[in-house]
Structure 1
Amino acid sequence: MSRADQLADIQKRIAMACAKAGRATDAVQLLAVSKTFPLSDVLEFHACGQTTFGENYLQEALDKITQLADHPNAQQNTPAIEWHFIGPIQSNKTKPIAENFPWVHSVDRLKIAQRLSDQRPSNLPALNVLVQINTSGEDSKSGVEPADAVELCKTISALPNLKLRGLMTIPSNTENTDQLKAEFLQCKTIFDELNNQGLKLDTLSMGMSADLELAIECGSTCVRVGSALFGARSYPK
């Protein structure tokens, strides 16, 4: 199957899920998760019209950003590729993230948000951020506890060089649809509460290759799709 066909299949799944939920097709953005795959694969999808790509591992992402800038056809890569950082964030990684990405999906504590704000270069627009909510309750997952999410989001929204755009969650690794739906809806409830309190959020990053239809049913505005586009990943040992 060609890259164009793979992309079209995912776009069709999104469109059908939107129609079933009574939502406009353009209400949901596709973020192609390119972690562990080379820049050449990214460029193949970009040539088919995909412009937003998510990366989990900082050094790998920075390498791709550098390679793209040095690419012989860099000036022809229009519209430009937009990189989203979606992985866990350690304090010693905030500076390069603040300097190189327009979007961050995985802010989960105030210290990280403050560092991103302080280290965002003055010549760049405010960094778009999502607060990650740990709806599964698993210790192995990053994210703020749901009970603490509203207070954290309000504090982050006041930081000078960040623009709080919404929330992100990674649900439990389960095939139990009821459990997944409950976790997605918990995140949507927090999202709605924050909007009702005047924060004007517009992005709810929920859903991946296996569960994007359910996430869209629950209100997702951004699905993060990797393996269904790029294929199975091979992680270094």
Structure 2
Amino acid sequence: MTTIVRNLQLVRDRITTACVAAGRNPATVRLLAVSKTFGAEAVADAATDGQRAFGENYIAEGVEKILALRQQPAVPALEWHCIGPVQSNKTRLVAEHFDWVQSVDRLKIAQRLSEQRPAHLPPLQICLQVNVDGGANKSGLAPADVQALAQEVAQLPRLVLRGLMAIPEPAADFDAACELHARSKAIFDAVNASGVLPIPMDTLSLGMTADLEAAIHAGSTMVRVGTAIFGKR
């Protein structure tokens, strides 16, 4: 058993334990393995243990891995999530190679992704990034702007609005982390309850290595874990 496979099993155990503590079914929380800065061989190692969804922050690096792994017959089809900032000059690369984009925070970016998504591929799955705690140096929408953008993005062809993503600042303790993540859950629920979307959102992407338990307690349906799987960068 490799270190990555052993780490994956430990992370899955953490998710299960957190779900049980929160009174949730572990099947309701997906694990996104964040493979930024680690090579294609590390992704292939994780894939041998059944991990299929991978997140990349850096677009060029991610595309290089996606293309390399597609050339390896032993590696199954993988699901690739762009979780880093997307600039206008990189939207075509993202639209052509990724399956999900979790970091949309501007209508212009969503429109370009929609226009540039190849017709032979399934629609691109989209999460809006929310700057839930108002961090000055953070990407993401102000909470008050989420509903309007969600309504516009939901109308774009070649995209499917799936949910919200947030990366709040590290919290002092479990209770503080739960409170931060609960803000995102409240926004998610409010947008779904507003009736402005043709299909309700189903994905709340919250929590990383340090705070996945708090995120699950608050209602996260997807945790993004890198360090606990692949090691320190």
User: TM-score over 0.5 for the alignment?
Assistant: yes
* Structure 1 segments (4+ residues) deviating >4 Å: none
Unpaired runs of 5+ residues, structure 1, are: none
1:88, distance to aligned residue in structure 2 (A): 0.6
1:94 to 91, 94, 102: 91
1:178 and 1:47 mapped to 2: Cα distance?
36
Please state if 1:30 is matched with 2:31.
yes
1:176, distance to aligned residue in structure 2 (A): 4.0
Please state if 1:202 is matched with 2:202.
yes
1:174, distance to aligned residue in structure 2 (A): 3.3
Identity, % of aligned positions: 50
2:116 to 107, 119, 123: 119
Secondary structure of 1:75's match?
coil
Letter in 2 for 1:170: I
1:193, distance to aligned residue in structure 2 (A): 1.2
Secondary structure of 1:12's match?
helix
Secondary structure of 1:165's match?
strand
- For 1:226, the equivalent position in structure 2 comes to 226
Letter in 1 for 2:95: A
- For 2:155, the equivalent position in structure 1 comes to 158
Letter in 2 for 1:193: A
What do the CA deviations read for 1:134-166 (whole angstroms, capped 9, x no partner)?
012112110000011111111111111110000
2:134 to 132, 137, 143: 137
2:207 and 2:149 mapped to 1: Cα distance?
23
Contact 2:19-2:217 at 8 Å conserved across structures = yes
Contact 1:206-1:220 at 8 Å conserved across structures = yes
Contact 1:3-1:48 at 8 Å conserved across structures = no
State how many pairs are aligned: 229
CA-based RMSD? 1.2
What do the CA deviations read for 1:1-44 (whole angstroms, capped 9, x no partner)?
73222111000000010011111110000000000001101111
- For 2:184, the equivalent position in structure 1 comes to 187
Please state if 1:54 is matched with 2:51.
no
TM-score if structure 1 supplies the norm length?
0.93
Secondary structure of 1:43's match?
helix
Secondary structure of 1:207's match?
coil
Contact 2:175-2:214 at 8 Å conserved across structures = no
